[in-house]
């Protein structure tokens, strides 16, 4: 396939590009630093610095949209909130417009979103049919998804990827958590009762590949493992995988003081089930947290991603 990827140099994008290149797909990556794509990924990849380079006569079979500024990395000032919207909603609107303008519109748009769509849902069980939340993150995700749906106007199949906490030893949330836990300084956050819906990066890439190759796949998909856990269970399991204690609880008031409005992302939670992708036959490589964490800190495992049916 000829595939355009945004966010291809990111934490998930790098792994996905490596996988797709190995399968012989032709990749074009949109990047703010196109001159670095060859060294960061592969010289086999075509690098674009702007969507203006996509003229209507350039055909793609699929577009995978993974771009977006990190949501926790800076305070949510009005300027930062607008930057988050621009990097998600704004870029996706531009993608949809290019898809609509193409002489041969791509058959598929796989577009990122997040389980933040649901807001803080407490103890409730969440599936793809659950309603949108009302906080900033939820509204951001809803607008992001609506922008992607615009591509469907020309017959492009649209899959929306509501992604949970992506785990892998090379980075992401787990990369930030490992060093204090290795020092024996880890522990629950706040009450520890909030739900954490996670997914190993190998399954994240596996599901994207699965949707890419399954013509019947369309609509919303929760990209989370089938076994969400509370924050307290997550910290116990991570500490056990590192043979360290986990007794240093982080008080909620401290996080609220440090993070402000962003604290809701770590003090709240969602108990999310990937109902649709399981119903369509995807088999998780890491369905249980202990399996995923055994792989992440120690490495050494390189599982084969299951093919679509």
CATH number of the CATH domain containing 19: 3.40.50.720
- Give CA–CA dist 51/97, Å, rounded: 10
Helix axes 136-149, 78-85, angle to 10 degrees: 30
**Quick check: is 60 in a domain?**
yes
Q: How far apart are CA 166 and CA 65, in angstroms?
A: 16
Cβ atoms of 206 and 302 within 8 Å: the answer is: no
What pLDDT, on a 0 to 100 scale, did the predictor assign at position 300? 37
Number of compact structural domains in the chain: 1
The DSSP output letter for 88 is: I
Which residue matches tokens 């369309």? 218
How far is 109 from 156, CA to CA, in rounded Å? 7
Residue 220 DSSP SS3 = strand
Rounded Cα–Cα distance for residues 30 and 309 (Å): 31
For the stretch 22-42, pLDDT in tens is 999 999 999 999 999 999 999
Identify the domain containing residue 24 by its residue range.
Answer: 2-298
- Please check whether residue 305 lies inside any domain of the structure: no
**What does the pLDDT look like over 84-102, one tens digit per residue?**
999 999 999 999 999 999 9
Q: Tell me the Cα Rg of the chain.
A: 19
The answer to whether position 140 is within a domain reads: yes
Q: How many CB atoms lie within 10 A of CB 169?
A: 15
pTM for the full model?
A: 0.92
Which parts of the chain register pLDDT below 50? Answer: 298-309
Task: Decide if 165 is inside a domain.
Answer: yes
What is the model's pLDDT at position 303?
Answer: 36
Where helices occur in the chain by DSSP H, the ranges are 11-22, 37-40, 78-85, 91-101, 136-149, 172-182, 201-212, 231-241, 252-259, 264-267, 275-279, 289-298
């Amino acid at each position: 396939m000829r595939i355009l990827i945004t966010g291809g140099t990111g934490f998930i994008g790098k792994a996905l590009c490596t996988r797709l290149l190995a399968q012989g797909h032709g990749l074009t990556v949109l990047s703010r630093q196109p001159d670095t794509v060859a060294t960061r990924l592969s010289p086999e990849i075509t690098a674009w610095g702007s969507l203006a380079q996509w003229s209507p006569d350039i055909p793609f079979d699929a577009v995978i949209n993974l771009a977006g500024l990190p949501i926790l990395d800076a305070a949510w000032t009005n300027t930062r909130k607008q930057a988050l919207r621009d990097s998600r909603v704004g870029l996706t609107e531009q993608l949809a417009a290019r898809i609509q303008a193409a002489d041969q519109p791509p058959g598929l748009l796989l577009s990122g979103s997040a389980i933040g769509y649901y807001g803080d849902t407490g103890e409730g069980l969440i599936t793809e049919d659950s309603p949108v939340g009302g906080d900033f993150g939820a509204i951001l995700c809803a607008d992001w998804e609506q922008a992607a749906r615009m591509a469907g106007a020309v017959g492009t199949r649209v899959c929306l990827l509501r992604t949970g906490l992506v785990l892998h030893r090379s980075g992401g949330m787990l990369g930030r958590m490992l060093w204090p836990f290795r020092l024996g300084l880890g522990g629950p956050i706040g009450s520890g009762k909030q739900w954490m819906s996670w997914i190993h990066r190998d399954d994240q890439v596996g599901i994207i590949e699965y949707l890419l190759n399954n013509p019947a796949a369309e609509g919303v998909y929760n990209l989370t493992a089938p076994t969400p856990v509370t924050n307290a269970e997550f910290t116990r399991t991570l500490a056990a995988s590192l043979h360290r204690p986990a007794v240093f609880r982080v008080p909620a008031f401290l996080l609220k003081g440090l993070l402000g409005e962003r604290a809701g992302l770590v003090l709240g939670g969602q108990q999310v089930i990937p109902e649709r992708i399981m119903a369509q036959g995807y088999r998780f490589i890491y369905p249980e947290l202990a399996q995923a964490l055994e792989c992440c800190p120690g490495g050494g495992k390189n599982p084969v991603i299951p093919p679509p049916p």
